[in-house]
Amino acid sequence: MLWQLRAGLILLGGAFRATAQYRANIFSNMAAGAAFQTVGLIGLWVILNRFGEVAGWTMSDVALMYGLRLTAHAAWAVPLNQLMEIEHQVREGLIDRYLVRPVNPLVQLLTGRVRLNVFGDLAAGLILLAVAASRADVDWTPARLAFLVLAILGGGMIEGGFQLGLAAISFRTLGTSEMRFTVDTIFNLYGNYPAKIFSVPGQIALSVLPVAFVAYLPTCALLGRDSGLPLPDWAGYAAPGLGLLIATGGYLFWRSQLRNYQGAGS
């Protein structure tokens, strides 16, 4: 484990030096990452500016939820962003080299390249969360702050675990980018709005999937609101445990799928 971390740092160092060759993009990439997340919020702001509230949630409530989800998103996107390369690497047989080096192939994939735009996501998420948290109607005790941090990590592991599992299907030389993109879109779209606006089947789907656990339910718990979902009250605090479970499952599935890697061509 410690060796994997050290090896990861060595590889990351190389990736960073390689990225530095394309210096022009570093800041535009970060700006893009931040803008990506901000645009969605602007859309929401435009709607709430005109309509006042959605399902009893005002802009400040929605902003807290949005900030929590963005930060959770960054919490998986920062370490796992290279998963988006997997299809290309499987198709071109680039995984070969990971499998003949003395480091966990996943660590090698993740440290293959530095994508600074995800740090833009992280910055945007943290800034929004800080602003929204200070404006939201929440009494920030140390316990609540600790829960906020755990909820962010748990939410990140929920999404990251799914992404890892889906990426692993690429080893069967199947295309997964649209699938991963769709799941990301679902979390992005459906995770950023109060889940109670949906009909009961929709609410059940969001609970099972479990989009609602990433930001909606923890935000309800922090704001002391009824989620309106057919779930027990403690569900608001379930994100960290669920995240750990899904992330572990995702990794075990990844390991099992690696057996199906066929290399490039024949």
Partner 1 sequence: MSAWALERWSFVDNRIRTVFAYRVDILAWLVGIALHLVLMVTLWRAVYAGRPVVDGVPLAVMTTYASIAALQALLNNDDTVDWLTERIRDGKVGADLARPVGLLQQQVCGQAAQLVMKVPMIVLVGLVAMLAVGVSAPAAPGAFLLSTALGWAVNCCLGLLLAATAFWTLETDGTMFLYFVLSGLLSGALVPLWVMPSWLGGLLSWLPWQAVVYTPVSIYIGRLSGSAMWSAIGVQALWAAVLAGLVVLVWRRAVHRVVVQGG
Partner 2 sequence: MPLIEAKDLVKEFRRVRPKTGAFSTVRTLFSRDFEVTRAVDGVGFAVEAGELVGYLGPNGAGKSTTIKMLTGILTPTSGTVEVAGVVPWRQRERNARNIGVVFGQRSQLWWDLPLRDSFRMIGRLYRVAPARYAQNLDRFVEVLGLASFLDTPVRQLSLGQRMRGDLAAAMLYEPPILYLDEPTVGLDVIAKERIREFVAGLNAEQGTTVLLTTHDMDDVERLCRRLVLIDHGRVLYDGPVAPLKEKYAPHRELVVQLASPAEVVVPNADVVRAEEGRVWLSFDPRTTPAASLIAEVSAKYEVTDLSLVEPDLEGVIRRMYLEREG
- The contact set with partner 1 (CB under 8 A) reads 22, 24-25, 28-33, 35-36, 39-40, 42-43, 46-51, 54-55, 87-88, 115, 117, 169, 174-179, 181-182, 185-186, 189-190, 193, 197-199, 202
8 Å CB contact between 155 and 230: no
With CA atoms as reference, report the closest residue to 258 among 167, 177, 197: 167
Q: Give the binding site for partner 2 (CB under 8 A).
A: 7, 10-11, 13-14, 17-18, 21, 93-97, 99-105, 173, 259-264, 266
> 32 or 223: whose CB is closer to partner 1?
32
> What are the tokens at 63?
């902003």
* 184, interface contact from partner 2, partner 1, none, CB < 5-8 Å by kind: none
Partner from partner 1, partner 2, none binding residue 97, C-beta < 5-8 Å depending on class: partner 2
* Per-position DSSP letters for 46-111, written without gaps between them: HHHHHH--BTTB-HHHHHHHHHHHHHHHHHHHHHHGGGGGHHHHHHTTTHHHHHTSSS-HHHHHHT
Gap between the Cα atoms of 61 and 115, Å rounded: 31
Judged by beta carbon, residue 31 or residue 258, the one nearer partner 2 is 258
Q: From the DSSP assignment, how many helices (H) and strands (E) are in the chain?
A: 12, 0
Closest approach of partner 2 to the CB of residue 7, in Å: 6
* In the complex, minimum distance from the CB of residue 166 to partner 1, in angstroms, rounded to a whole number: 10
Q: How far is the CB of 168 from partner 2 (least distance, A)?
A: 14
